[in-house]
A and B are shown apart, each in its own frame.
Chain A
Amino acid sequence: MNFHPFILPFAVGAIVLFVIIIYKYVSWIKNLDRKQKYFVNKNMFTFKTIQAIGEVIREALIHRNIYKKNPVLGYMHMSLAFGWFLLIVVGKIESSFYAGTFFEEPWLAIFFRYFAKEPHNYFMAAQFTFIMDFLLLVVLSGVFLAIMKRMRSKFLGMKKATRHSTFDRIALSALWWVFPLRLLAESITAAISGNGGFLTGSLGNLMSGLPVQALELPLWWAYSIVLFAFFVALPFSRYMHIPTEVVLIFLRKWGATAGEQYSGFSDIQINACSRCGICIDACQLNFAADINNVQSVYFIRDTRYGKLTDDIANNCLLCGRCTEACPVGIETTLIRQQLRNKAEIPGKHYYDYADTVDCESKPEVVYFAGCMSHLTPSIIISMKKIFEAAGVKYWFMDEEKGLCCGRPMRQQGFVQQSKDLISKNMRMIHSSGAKILVTSCPICYKSFRDEYVLEIPVFHHTEYIETLINSNKIKLHNSGKSIVYHDPCELGRGCNIYDSPREVLKKIGKLQTSELERENSLCCGGSLSNSVIDLATQTKIRDHGLEVLTESNPDILATACPLCKKSFVHGNKAIVQDIAEIVAVNIIAEKQSKKLQLTKNINEFEVNYK
């Protein structure tokens, strides 16, 4: 039998790793919520599984996504993951050929060169030696890049690297040593037995002057011990993302999505985080306000180790920039929202006093301005003007006794209170019998889309205005003004509405682009989701955003969210207007109704800036 005691550390480590991973897998799957389990059962034996396998190869081995975002970083991951994977597979095939059986000792492949010292005459021995040396070289190049990344993260195009925990450091150091030690051990053995490929053989020749006999065993021992350290540290370190991502890909393909409550699926996502730190660079709290301990990577790490504090959970704009940037596609903002869940804290039903009003006017459209639009009355007046000009019969649902849509409560974790509001609002919306719901606020819009169960479609006013223009219900004249559009977080990343606002703006002015837009757009700083930062910090975020947006010195900074408008107006840097306002000013009125005169002032509403 091919045996030597130095394989023991490796064997023990591998068994420990295997047991822990199986235990974790089982507990995650057990804790999936009902909906997630349903989808898993439904889709497990379908074509989706094949697709998942394809994606595992693309993402967990080749790392296509990281490659697309950052080629050097992508190569580093690919060389380590795919290179190591092939080393194992090809090594196993080689050792099977050598042993003449598929059931040779399981450790033989790992320590093959030590045991296979005699001249090689198994099938394709030379080719195997070459391939194995080549793969080792590929992996070593990845290790080299990893070390460079640690020393100088800018080398790989990253501004900030993640700060690591103790287990991370153990696993990381072990990982760095695994392949150099393997190279040395194999080279020494090659020097002794005169085999080896272009890499190990040549290095072996170079080392032939050393006391090779005395060095051989210590090196193989060291290689095995380092493997042991890596395997044992892995489940407790960031490298847990390697076995977890595979599970995540399968579950996702089967249709599991994050629900309202923290579940096994959230656990899987949290363990799938590799702490690459790409989210740190994406976070405005980092680069505009110099807050460096709350980013998703730290939030997820703290959650995983049970150290999450309220301060970290709540210090987030929920803008979604990190979710957009995450190469693993972890639903960072949703998980944060899940962990803000305060459902178990006995709370008051705050809204018992609020009575609902039923609509009796049989309108075509229900208009819900939203609380924030009530703080920007110019938007409301503009919407009234647009409805009137289009001759649409609408019911202004929250004109007098409006309730909040419930989303800000939800974002802060007050699930029950949010549900109270949702049910009251749903009753009012359905009482109208209208065909569509229009809102001016992206926060309400997201809530209506994701948290309400509505019988009628909901439109954000930018989408609605686009349909009015396309169906010729309103006619606009082109003001010729230059306009830069700011994508609000909830409308853009939140609801994927990027084109409607732009289409509308193209009809009334010269639409310009800005450096960070669409998926990359910045938060205005006024987010209702962060209950930790103060106004001074919000101001820093706002001013940075304003700087990016007004780079081209546009006549108008357009947005589609009352909250963004309010934030930017106070920056005193540009004329800030909601799309509804710009549209209202540029409507070609066919007949002036009496009601319209009430809204005449809107034409003159332009704040003077110093």
Chain B
Amino acid sequence: MMDKKVLIIGGGPAGIETAYSLALQDVKLVLIEKDADVCGNIKNWDKLFPDFKNASEVREKLIRKLEHPNIEIITNTEITKLYPEGNSWFAKNDAEKIFEADAVLLATGFEVFDAKRKEELGYGIYDNVITSVDFEKMYKSRKILTSEGRVPQRIAFLNCVGSRDEKVGNHYCSRVCCINAVKQAIEFKQLVPDSKAYCFYMDMRMAGQFYEELYRKSQEEYGVTYIRGRISEAAVTMDNRIQIKAEDTLSALPMKMTVDLLVLMVGIEASAGTTLLSEQNNVLGLYGFAKPLGLYSEDNMTAKSGLFLAGTCKRPLTLPETLADARSATTDIIRYLKTTK
């Protein structure tokens, strides 16, 4: 129907979902992914909160959507330059390969916070300090083990690593880590029922549907212990376990505890590509995320006509929110293609 072409940068859930909805509307498009495989950050996930759905099912569904004939996929290609000229948009990679389109969707997503920046927590220094992403990878084989191969008897999850932390410059909440900690704590307790699982938090932000129920279930059925307070420092013991110092702010007492494994719930940060391409087009918002034109009906548009946004390149979002946002971007893109010459 339409002779217009759309370029989607980023082959994660947001990019794929938009691509599919556009393809259904007879729009021809190219989807460019920097990695070898599509699906973005959910490649790392095994089960999803809050319903423990297999992430692989979601991935398969997404990948099947890409079979639509209107979609051309180019992987292993990282766009480093994006600019408009006349009514067209041009994107280039480092090899100076140029892609031309009538409209562009940024779906460049997020990266997890590099936990090494919080040196006091010992990630990258002590073997038994891991991140929530490492936990997922281990959980795929259903083997959560210490670096010595032991089954941990005590595990601690620490929320807000790189989120709501003025010192690292991220004031915002990443929104997905609280519920993810609840999910991972349950998964761990299911694997090692007679273990102890502690979760350190500032607030448990259980705003999504079924989150609160799951949080409650984790305490009532799985005996996960929640401690309100951040961990101030981690050290290693003689037997390579992790000693943590924290404050239980509800009882206003400092505490020390030794655990076999410390899991850092790393937050969401804007991906390098998001920051780079937003900056080039003057749509850079706070913390390196891309800035939408408005908060309400203009959330998928930008100040640049023909440049659209979907998913976590704008801010931290859950997976269902990202997919919904992608479909909403489709509407704006189609309207734009129809009204411009």
Contacts and interface: CB of A to CB of B under 8 A. Distances in A.
B272 A608 contact: no
B262 to A, nearest CB: 13
Contacts of A535: 166-167
B122 interface: yes
Which of B122, B124, B275 has the largest number of chain A CB atoms within 10 A? Answer: B124
Given A535-B167, A570-B168, A570-B169, A607 B235 contact: no
A303 interface: no
A375 interface: yes
Interface string B225-248: 000000011111000100000000
A539 B116 CA distance: 20
Given A376-B119, A377-B234, A604-B124, A598 B240 contact: yes
Contacts of A598: 236, 240
A47 interface: no
B233 A570 contact: no
A377 B235 contact: yes
A602 B127 CA distance: 11
A357 to B, nearest CB: 15
Nearest to A604: B124
Contact of A605 (B116, B236, B288): B116
A350 to B, nearest CB: 12
A610 B269 CA distance: 11
Contacts of B233: 374-375, 377
A608 B166 contact: no
Contacts of A607: 114, 116-117, 124
B125 interface: yes
A381 B125 contact: yes
A374 B240 contact: no
A604 B124 CA distance: 8
Given A377-B125, A607-B114, A570 B120 contact: no
A570 B162 CA distance: 11
Interface string B118-159: 011010111100000000000000000000000000000000
A378 B236 CA distance: 11
A16 B288 CA distance: 67
B90 to A, nearest CB: 24
A374 B275 CA distance: 33
Given A374-B233, A377-B235, A610-B275, A602 B125 contact: yes
A566 B119 contact: yes
Contacts of B120: 374-377
Which of B126, B272, B288 has the largest number of chain A CB atoms within 10 A? Answer: B126
A288 interface: no
A164 B212 CA distance: 62
A374 B119 contact: no
Contacts of B126: 377, 601
Interface in A340-387: 374-378, 381
A93 interface: no
Contacts of B234: 377
Contacts of A605: 116, 124-125
A104 B230 CA distance: 82
A381 B234 CA distance: 13
Contact of A378 (B114, B125, B168, B232): B125
A581 to B, nearest CB: 11
A605 B127 CA distance: 12
A490 B122 CA distance: 26
Interface in A523-549: 535, 539
A607 B124 CA distance: 9
B167 A377 contact: no
A476 interface: no
Interface in B146-204: 166-169
Given A608-B114, A610-B272, A377 B127 contact: no
Contacts of A610: 272, 275, 288
Which of A375, A376, A381 has the largest number of chain B CB atoms within 10 A? Answer: A375
A569 B120 CA distance: 12
Contacts of A376: 119-120
A403 to B, nearest CB: 13
A606 B117 CA distance: 10
A69 B301 CA distance: 58
B116 A608 contact: yes
Contacts of A377: 119-120, 122, 125-126, 233-236
A378 B119 contact: yes
Contacts of B240: 598
5 contacts: A375-B232, A378-B119, A535-B166, A601-B125, A601-B126
Given A601-B124, A605-B125, 13 more contacts: A374-B233, A376-B119, A377-B120, A377-B126, A377-B236, A378-B119, A566-B119, A569-B117, A570-B117, A572-B117, A602-B125, A607-B114, A607-B117
Interface of B: 114, 116-117, 119-120, 122, 124-127, 166-169, 232-236, 240, 272, 275, 288
